[in-house]
A and B are shown apart, each in its own frame.
Chain A
């Protein structure tokens, strides 16, 4: 078993929380926004995205939800605070739990928010008979996708919904061509830690094999491109502050974000699937 401290995603996600505060929006949501208009700010796009996800999994007051890869808690706090759900978040990065629990207390949501620090694959004692599960850009870190979907389905009630979004290779052919090139390696190994980009077809196959019905698919690629453009603008605007926290981090972040954005549509896509625990 991988310990929490050794978990490969922690190299990136357990960086000083102030780093993320200097390029993400106030909610610290570290995934694609949802843009409805040409002038939408990053903050607005992230709120719109969280409402979209909440709608897609029918998140209403009293519903029980698990967020896999809950990060800095944006979606957990949104589902609890705006939708009145009872939310458990799970992430392997210890600093993230402290951060989310503090925000939950400040917002009077402590009784509706619980954070578990563990890789999802190893976690025991998670809530069951859930109404919904969300996993935004987190299964990329989990090598055994069939096991992840099987475990997730086992935690859902009958007819429960799972929203999973992921960066994907655009096709099997593109994967074969690019899985080993320099830029992909840099993103996967140096920063992401254990990132396993797959084509959408592999996500669909794993979901089907786990017994899910596939309800919806959404192409988020253009939205993610714009999100990352806005993150890069923030890195540039806050370069001096970032360098004071960790010398070299601004250039590293910009390089990583730049590589991610160059590939959209050519090598990579970003898709969301909504899965239903039903035949």
Chain B
């Protein structure tokens, strides 16, 4: 499991890896400000699944506003970092 000692860059890498896996796209095709809901093949269900994986990975429970409000890898990484 990923831990609270992770650096912001490590958190971002882990988040990017999970996003890439759930959306089935190469990780290097995702920039930090890519709109996750705008990626081809993404839908609200996949975004939710992504969040679930991220919460499990970091052992955190994000606030609803973040779960349903975040739209980029940078934003997800930021709320994860704050929740750790």
Chain A positions within 8 Å of B, measured between CB atoms, are: 173-174, 177, 181-183, 258-259, 262-263, 265-267
Contact = CB atoms under 8 A, between A and B. Distances in A.
Interface string B53-64: 000000000001
Which of A177, A183, A262, A265 has the most C-beta atoms of chain B within 10 angstroms of its own C-beta?
A: A262
Given A174-B64, A177-B68, A266 B52 contact: yes
A182 B68 contact: no
Contacts of A182: 43-44
B67 interface: yes
Given A262-B52, A266-B51, A266-B52, A183 B64 contact: no
Given A182-B43, A183-B44, 17 more contacts: A173-B64, A174-B64, A177-B68, A181-B44, A182-B44, A183-B43, A258-B45, A259-B45, A262-B46, A262-B48, A262-B52, A263-B48, A266-B48, A266-B51, A266-B52, A266-B67, A267-B48
Contacts of A265: 52
B81 interface: no
Interface in B21-49: 43-46, 48-49
Contacts of B68: 177
9 contacts: A173-B64, A177-B68, A182-B43, A258-B45, A259-B45, A262-B46, A263-B45, A266-B51, A267-B48
Interface SS majority for chain B: helix
A258 B49 CA distance: 10
Contacts of A177: 68
B45 A183 contact: yes
Contacts of B52: 262, 265-266
A174 B68 CA distance: 10
Contacts of B67: 266
A265 B46 CA distance: 15
B45 to A, nearest CB: 5
A51 B40 CA distance: 46
Contacts of B46: 262
List 8 tightest A-B contacts by C-beta distance, closest first.
A262-B45, A262-B48, A262-B49, A183-B45, A259-B45, A266-B48, A183-B44, A181-B44
Nearest to A177: B68
A177 B52 CA distance: 19
A262 B45 CA distance: 6
A174 B44 CA distance: 14
A181 B43 CA distance: 11
Contacts of B51: 266
Nearest to B50: A262
Contacts of B49: 262
